[in-house]
Chain A
């Protein structure tokens, strides 16, 4: 009997000690915020375009964390769907877009400045403040900051905004992936001894 009591007492003591330690740790090392939302948000392309039906990338990240499907980001494309699937341990779903445009082509807004009437509607629509201008003065797009979300196209009363594809420059050009086995890689230079 005593043995049992001793064992119970010892276990209770241990439980108390570990419980206190865990309680302390959970307070001391408390994780602020919801890290999974941050992780999802980091994978989204931050175009803030709203094509997923949410007002921005972070709200969509929150929605995904709450169980919404992770294939509703056309600007992110298949790559984002795959990355999200891997992060969340979900299935890779086919991208849920209307298929009208190739999302892989990066685009930026371009304002035909001659036609701009200075209504500031596009400025209000831009989610990342990438359009500068003032009332009754010409507006223009800061190309480097434009995410290509095309939210400014719709509000323009004179339809002077175009989405133009971003041309590759020397800075953005990269080597193509070799065609693979069976193909002769054109850039390879073999040297032989004559």
Chain B
């Protein structure tokens, strides 16, 4: 180690594990200079001579093209264009067999040379370094240059660095370690200066800290030529010991820098970019001479050709024509190999073309390349593991690949195998290990592709499922809406039963869904969310059905108004309607709290229900107001009526205020409307309160006339004076005191009366049952009755007092009553005038609305008039 250090760090050569020393067979082809290849009768140019997307043809069949002309352009980020290797005519664009181990066809351009070899436009650069790296990269991409070492990766992509990438070492690969191949050897010997120029372009593009050029020590002439050419250039030519596969990218990096590229990694991750000498030469030709990549140097060797050597062939030259050119002896040609013997593959169809990555063609007899011996069982000698340059365990990989245990093969880093063939070369059992690995790699790739496709299919299936469900839900909602719309005008009685049934069904379904969801919850079903959504849906449906039933019930009543029991019905309806409204409001609030989408809808529904309830209340009021008129005997106390009206109005006002507040909170757009409504209601409530006050002042006698039996009806009356605010002139204290006493008395009386009633009915029952000890009970009833009477007397006395105090202030109240009556009359007159005016012009709805408003006003006026009259009578002022 110390010795190595002292030898000087920069001259150091490292080592990589494994490796073999196969027979080199280089001397057959490296003794003759590079010869021009043949001009074939047809050039077959596959659109995919590189790694990446196939090029897109730019020419049509029949087009005359010049040498170097663009025939196809790169298609996508990783792709390379195709140029015409010579002038001629495009005779076909279509599938042809290509150089692929599968022997399959691929799209190709077929060019028939015209023999003139006429160049098209060339744009040679005198000084490529004057261009920016970006422009140079564009030119390199345009020239169709790909890695000529064998892989064919587009060079422009390989030398475009990301922002964060920094190249420490640029490595030029002149190792050419595979037996038989001498193309780079001859190129380096004969065209070293051109290679150095190409390397300088790479240096300009990548700006590496140092440039290393590796050559195996079996090519001393090439090393010498490059050293001579590299004088003055910043290129460190390093001779490495001959060992296969030192020309592998990762192995050469390890050999020259000691850095190991990680599993699945790229050289740039350790700050290295590796390029082949052939690529450097192509760069020089493309930039300095303006010639795109249309030819390459290919070794033709083997004992079946008369003139083995290196030929500068036009891309697309068919194998057969090159063999012919090299003087093939068909009788001796038993094995035809494209590429080297270690990594190449045997060819069966000599019609296939040579492309950018074809570096060697071996035409051999079986003396040189014998038929492979039969595979034998693995003897577990471990020689393969010693030979593996990637430090893998070929034997393990073999077992896994053979048994299709792809997962474990991947665990053993099968994908890091570089398929160099060293293991198969040393295998004493002649096991074609590399083919096992290639097979396993292919299977892994297929599986990955299938998994990706399955995932996509799953995604699409689920998306479709969701879409279909949504569509169905929407359809269902529309259907229901339609049904409801149809049902609304129909008489409620007809389908009330059906509706109830629907509602029942819906709630049943909802309950079932809840149950299912609960079950799902207990067994940790992954579809819990779906179940919950289902529950939600069912609940909505059930609610909707219930609402429908309610609506139907509500819609029916107005027609029954005329019946004798109209009021009871109305009361029920009002109760129903307010219940519906309240539940709707609750729902809307809940929706708001949860920020559900349907909050607005629910709110508007609540709004509608409220309006409905109000309308019903008004009807009820009308009915009540109408009844006393028709049946004066049962005429209820006007004060009580007024009180009810006040209560209704103020509750309506409160509801309106609440709605307004809510609307404000939610920033609804109809806040203004709601506020106006609230104001209107308030005004009405105030007006009514005023009326009530006046009426009360006028009506003190009423409670006295009919107090005990309808106690509930009579007793609230005295409570009003204080809340009605009619005691302005009285001292607040006195009023409050009296109020308190009144309330207490009222409660006491109520309790006493109730007790008495209960005792009385108990006595009745006992009498019926023939009980014996009736005396005690009778005594109790008597006692209770006395108590109730006593309380009532006290209450009456207090009421008289209140009445008296009220009387003292009637003057003002009377005036207000008069005003109210006048106001109501005026409003009535105005409205009826408007109605008259509009009778001919306005549409039916407006008229209906006006009529109903008129009715309300009429009623108001009637009430006001009556209140006034009563007050006057009470005060003995009727004559006025």
Q: Are A190 and B461 in contact (CB under 8 A)?
A: no
- Nearest B residue (CB) for A191: B341
Q: Provide a sorted-by-A list of 28 A–B residue pairs whose CB atoms are within 8 angstroms.
A: A34-B525, A34-B526, A37-B526, A46-B454, A46-B458, A47-B457, A58-B458, A58-B462, A129-B464, A147-B453, A173-B102, A175-B101, A175-B442, A177-B401, A178-B435, A182-B376, A184-B375, A186-B346, A186-B372, A187-B346, A189-B372, A190-B373, A190-B430, A191-B23, A191-B341, A191-B369, A191-B425, A194-B368
> Which residues from A are CB-within-8-Å of B450?
45
Give the chain B neighbours of A177 by CB distance below 8 A: 401-402, 435-436, 439
What are the interface flags for B352-377 relative to A under an 8 Å C-beta threshold, 1 for contact and 0 otherwise? 00000000000000011111111111
Contact partner of B461 among A46, A144, A169, A187, CB < 8 A? A46
Q: Would you call A48 and B461 a contact (CB within 8 A)?
A: yes
Nearest residue (CB) in A for B102 is A173
List the A side residues contacting B345 at CB < 8 Å. Answer: 187
Is residue B256 contacting chain A, with contact meaning CB distance below 8 A? no
Closest to A192 in B: B370
Asked whether, in the complex, the Cβ of B104 is within 8 Å of the Cβ of A174, the reply is no
Contact B458 A178 (CB under 8 A): no
Bound complex: CA A129 to CA B463 (Å): 9
| In the complex with contacts A191-B369, A194-B368, A57-B461 CB distance below 8 A | yes
A18-70 interface (Cβ within 8 A of B): 31-34, 37-38, 41, 44-48, 56-58
Q: List the A side residues contacting B460 at CB < 8 Å.
A: 128-130, 145
| Interchain CB contact under 8 A, A175 and B435 | yes
Asked if residues A183 and B374 are in contact (CB atoms below 8 Å), the reply is yes
Given contacts A173-B102, A190-B373, 6 further A-B contacts (CB under 8 A): A31-B524, A34-B526, A44-B454, A174-B439, A177-B435, A185-B435
B208 sits at the interface (CB 8 A): no
Top 9 closest pairs, chain A to chain B, by CB: A174-B442, A33-B526, A185-B432, A46-B454, A188-B372, A175-B438, A193-B23, A46-B457, A128-B460
Chain A residues with CB under 8 A of B106: 170
- Residues of chain B with a CB closer than 8 A to A145's CB: 456-457, 460
A46 to B430, CA, bound (A): 41
Main secondary structure of the interface of A (DSSP, over half): loop
Most chain A beta carbons < 10 A, residue from B22, B375, B442, B455: B375
Confirm or deny: A127 has a beta carbon within 8 angstroms of a beta carbon on chain B: yes
Q: Are A128 and B464 in contact (CB under 8 A)?
A: yes
What residues on A are CB-neighbors of B367 within 8 Å? 192, 194
A100 close to chain B: CB less than 8 A: no
Q: Which residue of B lies closest to A175 (CB)?
A: B438
| B424 on the A face (CB < 8 A) | yes
Minimum CB–CB distance from A183 to chain B (whole Å) comes to: 6
Q: Answer whether residue A4 sits at the interface, using C-beta atoms and an 8 A cutoff.
A: no
Q: How close is B50's CB to chain A, nearest CB, in angstroms?
A: 13
Question: Nearest B residue to A32 by beta-carbon distance?
Answer: B526
CB-defined contacts of B445 to chain A, threshold 8 Å: 174
How many angstroms from the CA of A129 to the CA of B455 in the assembled complex? 14
Given A175-B439, A178-B436, A194-B368, the answer on whether A188 and B430 have CB atoms closer than 8 Å is yes
Q: Which residues of chain A are near B432, meaning CB under 8 Å?
A: 178, 185, 187-188
CA distance A185 to B398 in the complex (A): 15
Which residues of B lie under 8 Å from residue A174 when comparing CB positions? 438-439, 441-443, 445-446
Question: CA of A179 to CA of B432 in the docked complex: distance in angstroms?
Answer: 10
Which residues on A sit within 8 Å (CB–CB) of B435?
175, 177-178, 185, 187-188
Task: For B526, list chain A residues within 8 Å (CB).
Answer: 32-34, 37-38
CA distance A37 to B442 in the complex (A): 29
Is A5 at the interface (CB under 8 A from chain B)? no
Q: Are B457 and A170 in contact (CB under 8 A)?
A: no
Residues of B within 8 A of A184 (CB): 371-375
Q: Is A89 among interface residues, defined by CB-CB distance under 8 A?
A: no
| Bound form: Cα–Cα A56–B760 in Å | 75
Residues of B within 8 A of A1 (CB): none
**When A34-B526, A170-B100, A189-B335 are in contact, do A181 and B443 touch as well, CB less than 8 Å?**
no
Interface residues of A in 75-124 (CB under 8 A from B): none
B234 to chain A, nearest CB (A): 38
B350 within 8 A of A: no
**Partner among B341, B431, B458, B524 whose Cβ is within 8 Å of the Cβ of A189:** B341
Number of A-B contacts defined by CB within 8 Å? 147
Interface status of A176 (Cβ within 8 A of chain B): yes
Q: How far is B374's CA from A101's CA once the two chains are assembled, in angstroms?
A: 36
Q: Which of B372, B455, B524 is within 8 Å of A46, CB to CB?
A: B455
Q: Within 8 Å of chain B (Cβ to Cβ): is A172? A: yes
Residues on the B chain within 8 Å of A187, using CB: 101, 345-346, 432, 435
B213: Cβ under 8 A from any A Cβ: no
> Are A185 and B375 closer than 8 Å at their CB atoms?
yes
- List of A residues within 8 angstroms of B376 by Cβ: 181-182
Enumerate A120-143 residues with CB–CB distance to B below 8 Å.
Answer: 127-130
- Chain A nearest CB, measured from B123 CB (Å): 34
Contact call B457/A147, Cβ cutoff below 8 A: yes
B271 within 8 A of A: no
**Contact among B337, B442, B454 for A45, CB-based, below 8 A:** B454
Residues of B within 8 A of A176 (CB): 439
Would you give the 0/1 interface string for B281-320, flagging 1 where the beta carbon is closer than 8 Å to chain A?
0000000000000000000000100000000000000000
Q: In the assembled complex, how far is the CB of residue A26 from the closest CB belonging to chain B, in whole angstroms?
A: 12
Q: Is the CB of B344 within 8 A of A189?
A: yes
- B25 touches A (CB below 8 Å): yes
What is the CA–CA distance of A114 and B401 in the complex, to the nearest angstrom?
A: 47
Q: Is B179 among interface residues, defined by CB-CB distance under 8 A?
A: yes
Interface string of B211-227 (1 = CB under 8 A from A): 00000000000000000
A41 to chain B: which residues have CB within 8 Å?
Answer: 458
Residues on the B chain within 8 Å of A32, using CB: 526
Cross-chain contact of B457 among A48, A169, A173, A188 (Cβ < 8 A) = A48
Q: Are A190 and B369 in contact (CB under 8 A)?
A: yes
Q: How far is the CA of A5 from the CA of B438 in the complex (A)?
A: 71
| A147-170 near B? 1/0 per residue, CB < 8 Å | 100000000000000000000111
A127 touches B375 (CB 8 A): no
Residues of A near B457 (CB, < 8 A) are 46-48, 128, 145, 147
Q: Considering the chains assembled together, what is the distance between the CA atoms of A178 and B439 in angstroms?
A: 8
| Nearest CB in chain A: distance from B426 CB, A | 12
B245 to chain A, nearest CB (A): 14
By a CB distance below 8 angstroms, the chain A residues around B337 are 189
For residue B23, which residues in chain A have a CB less than 8 angstroms away from its CB?
A: 191-193
CB distance from B621 to the nearest CB of A (A): 58
A172 to B465 CA separation, bound complex (whole angstroms): 31
B467 to chain A, nearest CB (A): 8
Contact B375 A170 (CB under 8 A): no
* Nearest residue, chain B, Cβ from A149: B457
A129 to B179, CA, bound (A): 54
Q: Which residue of chain B has its CB nearest to the CB of A180?
A: B375
Residues of A within 8 A of B463 (CB): 129
Instruction: Tell me which of A34, A47, A185 has the highest count of chain B C-beta atoms within 10 A of its own C-beta.
Output: A185
- B789-842 residues with Cβ-Cβ distance < 8 A to A are none
- Residues of B near A194 (CB, < 8 A) are 303, 367-368
Min CB–CB distance A152 → chain B (angstroms): 13
Residue numbers in B under 8 Å from A58 (CB-CB): 458, 461-462
Cα A51 to Cα B104 in complex, Å, equals 34
Complex Cα gap A15–B532 (Å): 36
- The answer on a CB contact under 8 Å between B346 and A192 is no
**B375 proximity list for chain A (CB < 8 A):** 178-185
CA distance A147 to B462 in the complex (A): 14
- Chain B neighbourhood of A127, CB < 8 A: 461, 464
Residues on B with C-beta less than 8 A from A193 are 23
Name, among A46, A48, A147, A182, the residue most crowded by chain B CB atoms within 10 Å (CB to CB). Answer: A46
- What chain A residues lie within 8 Å of B443 (beta carbons)? 174
Asked whether B458 lies within 8 Å of A57 as measured between CB atoms, the reply is yes
With a cutoff of 8 Å between Cβ atoms, the chain B residues found around residue A172 in the complex are 446, 449
Distance in angstroms from A120 CB to nearest chain B CB is 14
C-alpha spacing A184/B346, complex, angstroms: 14
CA A162 – CA B154 in complex, angstroms?
40
Shortest Cβ distance from B532 into chain A, in angstroms?
A: 14
Residue of A nearest to B105 (CB): A170
